[in-house]
Amino acid sequence: MATAADLRELALALEGTTTAPHFDRTAFKVARIYATLAADGLSANFKFTLEEQERHCQQWPDAFTPIDNGWGRQGWTTVWLEDLRPRALKAALQTAWKHAQPKSKQPRKP
């Protein structure tokens, strides 16, 4: 079972990550926000591509669910921390983090 403390530690270990308030949540960002932690520490929202969102929701259906609105159709996905192991949380954070890099650091498309 992952915790809010695990998420904070893992996210802040990713290069360039800072935190900032984001409404009632804590945002983790590099050039852009890639994850937000709920105030109660029970869930977080991650920014994935739609393909990554689908893969995470299929692989861990108890832990991941698309946000039920336009944000979800853009890849934003809720994760229930208690239903995820820290190792899977780390992998999901790394996936979201890579999309938050400055445009100049993102790999070019072939």
Domain 4-105, architecture per CATH: Alpha-Beta Complex (3.90)
At 110 the pLDDT is 54
Q: Of 42, 36, 39, whose CA–CA distance to 96 is shortest?
A: 36
Sheet holding 64-66, edge to edge: 18-22, 25-29, 33-37, 43-47, 76-80, 64-66
Domain ranges of the chain: 4-105
At 103 the pLDDT is 83
The tens place of each residue's pLDDT in the chain, 110 residues long, gives: 999 999 999 999 999 999 999 999 999 999 999 999 999 999 999 999 999 999 999 999 999 999 999 999 999 999 999 999 999 999 999 999 999 999 876 555 55
At 105 the pLDDT is 61
* 12 Cβ contact partners less than 8 Å away, ≥ 6 residues apart: 19, 28
At 63 the pLDDT is 97
